[in-house]
Structure 1
Amino acid sequence: MTEKITDKLANKLKEEKDLQNFLTENQQDLKEANLKEFLQNLLETKQLSKTEVIKNSGLDKTYAYKIFSGEKKNPSRTKILALALSMQLNEDETNHLLWHACHNALYPRNRWDSIIIFALKEHFSVVDTNLLLVQYGEKETLY
């Protein structure tokens, strides 16, 4: 659903000659990233416990709660991915989460991102994903 709206907006923007007109006519479809609201929505939709997600993420408890409360404004991409894995999100849901956290989407041409995409698809835990990253010689892990 979101993808269709995004494609529609992209096509309109390509054809538009007046930026102000585009912004005015499409303001209801242009939204700002709100990580706190998106995380809350994911918890409700997937019927997940915030406590369990944080525990499974391997993140520092205090830090993770600050992400969920909106107090931590710029969590790193790796921390967001740890939350995505602990919530067992799929690739699309993870990319939406990354967008709400103001980070780039996963990119399959990037070796590290490809490993993360595979881990998401296979529902790996954060620990198993870190082991996979190390196994394939990646220096950066999720924490």
Structure 2
Amino acid sequence: MKEPLTEDLLDELLSAPDPVKFAGKHRLHGRDLPSYLQQLLDEKGLVRPEVVRQAGLNPTFGYQIFVGQRKPSRNKLLQLAFAMSCTLRETNRILRAGGHNELYCKDRRDAIIIFCISHGETLQAADEQLYAFHEQTITE
């Protein structure tokens, strides 16, 4: 499903007479983490146990994240994003759905993570880059 550009939505919102109707028309609501993770699995043809394993998560904890029984930390969500080879946009959506801040390029650690995601690096490679720059690793 192709989403409209943010700029286009903003223009429409600013010219709308009623924000409630705008929100209803575009079905704007908070993204549910378990639903979004399942959507990504389906779109990418991945299976949950393999993603959890590649993310380096305990299988029980990983299952609980996917069904919404546990609220994962930002790092755990990043681990899942790397395991699913997510784009930067997908990663930020995962973080927002999980109640965490998006990656921010003015933060040194986040900038390294953004670079690794955008270059298709693995979780291990991202951790190595972070370690080389004396930043907290994702799997720490």
TM-score scaled to structure 2, two decimals?
0.86
State the alpha-carbon separation in 2 of the partners of residues 137 and 10 from structure 1. Answer: 39
Maintained 8 Å contact 2:13/2:22: no
In structure 1, C-alpha distance between the alignment counterparts of 2:68 and 2:42, rounded to whole Å: 17
Match of 1:105 among 99, 102, 105: 102
2:22 and 2:87 map into 1 onto residues whose CA distance is: 32
1:64 aligns with one of 62, 65, 68: 62
Alignment partners' CA distance in 1, 2:86 and 2:30:
21
Residues in 1 aligned to 2:52 and 2:59: alpha-carbon distance in whole angstroms: 7
Match of 1:35 in 2: 33
Partner of 1:83: 80
Cα contact 1:33–1:102 (8 A) shared by 2:
no
8 Å contact 2:116–2:126 — kept in the other structure?
yes
Which residue is 2:138 aligned to?
142
1:42, 1:107 → 2: CA distance?
A: 22
Provide the C-alpha distance between the structure 1 equivalents of 2:33 and 2:98, rounded to a whole number of angstroms: 6
Task: Confirm whether residue 117 of structure 1 aligns to residue 114 of structure 2.
Answer: yes
Correspondence for 2:45: 47
Q: Deviations over 1:75-128 (max 9, x none)?
A: 111111110001111111111222221222211111111111121123222222
SS in structure 1 at match of 2:115: helix
Residue 94 of structure 1 aligns with which residue?
Answer: 91
Shift of 1:15: 4.6
Q: How many residues align?
A: 137
The residue aligned with 2:22 is 25
- Name the % identity: 33
Q: Which amino acid is 1:2 matched to?
A: E
Aligned 1:6-21 pairs, distance under 5 A: 6-15=6-15, 21=18
- Residue type of the alignment partner of 1:42: L
Residue 3 of structure 1 and its aligned partner are, at CA, apart by: 5.0
- Structure 2 residues without counterparts, runs of 5 or longer: none
CA RMSD of aligned residues (A): 1.8
Please list every run of 5 or more consecutive structure 1 residues that lacks an aligned counterpart in the other structure: none
